[in-house]
Amino acid sequence: MSGSNFSIDGPELNKDRLQLALGITGQLTGSTSLNVGYTGEFADSHQNNAFSATLDVAF
């Protein structure tokens, strides 16, 4: 079974916008680290925010 390609046009993004990304990683133990992050996009017409956290454990 094969599918067809398609595209969806969304709203135009404001050309005057600020994109921001921040992250920090901390070593909790010799084999465990924690990463937290934030990404954001700010414009007159919209605002997007995202937070993330990752726990890495090596064994």
7 is a domain residue: no
As to burial, measured by CB atoms within 10 angstroms (0-12 exposed, 13-18 middle, 19+ buried), residue 44 is exposed
49 forms beta bridges with 40
> Which amino acid belongs to residue 30?
G
Residues spanned by the domain of 49: 18-57
Q: What is the pLDDT of residue 1?
A: 60
> Which amino acid belongs to residue 14?
N
44-50-52 Cα angle (round to 5): 160
- What total number of domains does the chain contain? 1
What are 1-46's pLDDT values in tens digits?
677 888 888 877 778 899 999 999 999 999 999 999 999 999 988 8
- Inform me whether the pLDDT recorded for 48 exceeds 80: yes
59-53-58 Cα angle (round to 5): 5
